[in-house]
Structure 1
Amino acid sequence: MGDDHALDIADLNHWFGAGEAQKQALFDIDLEIDRGSLTVLVGPSGSGKTTLLTLVGCLREVQEGSVMLLGHQLHVAKPAQQIALRRRLGFIFQAHNLHGSLTALQNVLMGLQVHGATDQDTQMSAARHMLTLLGLGDRIDYFPANLSGGQKQRVAVARALVGNPDIVFADEPTAALDRESGMTVVKMLKQLGQVRGTTTVMVTHDNRILEMADRIITLEDGRIVNDTSK
């Protein structure tokens, strides 16, 4: 794997179910994703985009093929190695998955506490800074029940980014956001790529994002049918 690749995927296949009910979801996926790039996965529902995202993000077990994530082969990775790798990743999902009993600030702090590398004051400062960047400086002490859908999603984005992950995996991250908020999030991801070398792999149906992508990969029926880098 080259140092410029965050992900190297070769001959990746995946199935759901077993026996006569078994259905193949991904077919012979070959993909190299450069560090610091913003790559967008598009395609109709059921085309395999989210399945691919969860496989390369250590959220689903690789059945067949090679996935090199940050230089580590997932097919042979032990549980402890997978946990260590997940700590270098950020995840943004369409469902914000916030804890209702925690404030916005406390939810974002959870994104740092898995690392355990910095003192509490530094973590608090980083969490406040990230929420402020996303326009939530006046909502820091609000609970999710008192936030709009778009505000909840921005809290989830802050939680994913606050730990400075090597790779961000995002599944429809702007679906709950208005145009301005959505563009703010995508511009931030793009800037993180340029400044820190953060790699973003994003599933989206949001055409507003496509013009900002470094690369657009189209999937249909579990296969890559178009790749703007080729």
Structure 2
Amino acid sequence: MTQDLIANVRGLNHWFGSGEVKKQALFDVNLTLKRGSFTVLMGPSGSGKTTVLTLIGCLRAVQDGSLQLLQNELRGASEAQLVALRRRLGFIFQAHNLHESLTATQNVMMGVQVHEGVAEQTAKAAAFHALGLVGLADRAGYLPANLSGGQKQRVAVARALVASPALVLADEPTAALDKDSAAEVVDLLKRMGTARGTTTLLVTHDNRILDRADRILTLEDGRIVKVEDRA
């Protein structure tokens, strides 16, 4: 795999359950994610989108097929290897998952503190810089209760980006946002792709953001049925 290929998925199959209730969720999924690209994964509920995301994110074990992430084969990888790779990724979810008792800065610092040996002042400076990138430097000391929905999600984006991950995995990050806030979040991720070479894979039902994608993958019943390149 070349340096510009962040993820290379080949013949990926996945099952849930066992015995008589065992059910196949993914069928021969193939996809690539190139450095700096913005890829959208679409499909109806239950099509397997989140399963793909969690497999690439090292949150599930690869059962069958090949999934190479950052030049590491995930099939057969140990838990220690998966943990080490997860620390090189950024995650954004529909629910912003902010700690209500922590300020915006403290929430973002958590994205740095997963790395061992990072001094608190270093983490704080990185968090404040990341909040500035998402336009929230003036909200650094605010608790989530005092932020709007769009601002909370931008804090979550800052937390995902603060450690300069090679890949950001976003699961329905704009679903609960109005049109302008959704556009802000996606544009931030696009800018990071251009400025830092950050790759984004975003799962969504949100048709409002499709015009910003470099590639759109459509998943139905566990199979990729359409690939649309827009870059």
TM-score by length of 1: 0.94
Which residue in 1 is equivalent to 2:38?
38
Report if the CA contact (8 A) 2:6-2:70 is conserved. Answer: yes
2:63 counterpart of 1:63: yes
Which residue in 1 is equivalent to 2:161?
161
Once the two structures are TM-superposed, the CA of residue 47 in structure 1 deviates from its matched residue by: 0.7
Q: How many Å separate the matches in 2 of 1:167 and 1:64? A: 22
Which residue in 1 is equivalent to 2:81?
81
Once the two structures are TM-superposed, the CA of residue 118 in structure 1 deviates from its matched residue by: 4.6
Matched residue SS, 2:9: strand
Matched residue SS, 2:90: strand
Superimposed CA distance per residue, residues 83-116 of structure 1 (whole angstroms, 9 cap, x where no aligned partner)? 1111110000111111122111101000011124
Which residue in 1 is equivalent to 2:226?
226
Matched residue SS, 1:159: helix
Q: How many Å separate the matches in 2 of 1:11 and 1:152? A: 37
Spell out the pairing of 1:34-183 with structure 2 (5 A cutoff): 34-116=34-116, 118-183=118-183
Once the two structures are TM-superposed, the CA of residue 120 in structure 1 deviates from its matched residue by: 3.1
Matched residue SS, 1:228: strand
TM-score by length of 2: 0.93
Matched residue SS, 2:13: strand
Superimposed CA distance per residue, residues 151-194 of structure 1 (whole angstroms, 9 cap, x where no aligned partner)? 22221111111111000000011122222222222122112212
Residues matched between the structures, number: 230
Matched residue SS, 2:212: coil
Q: Structure 1: any 5+ residue segments left out of the alignment? A: none
Once the two structures are TM-superposed, the CA of residue 33 in structure 1 deviates from its matched residue by: 1.6
Letter in 1 for 2:70: L
Q: How many Å separate the matches in 1 of 2:214 and 2:199? A: 11
Which aligned runs of 4 or more in structure 1 are off by greater than 6 angstroms? none
Letter in 2 for 1:110: M
Report if the CA contact (8 A) 1:10-1:30 is conserved. Answer: yes
Matched residue SS, 1:85: helix
Superimposed CA distance per residue, residues 17-61 of structure 1 (whole angstroms, 9 cap, x where no aligned partner)? 111111111000111221110010011111111110001110111
Pair 1:84–1:218, CA change in 2 (3 A): same
Letter in 1 for 2:37: S
Structure 1 vs Structure 2: percent identity of aligned residues? 65
Report if the CA contact (8 A) 1:153-1:176 is conserved. Answer: no
Q: How many Å separate the matches in 2 of 1:4 and 1:143? A: 38
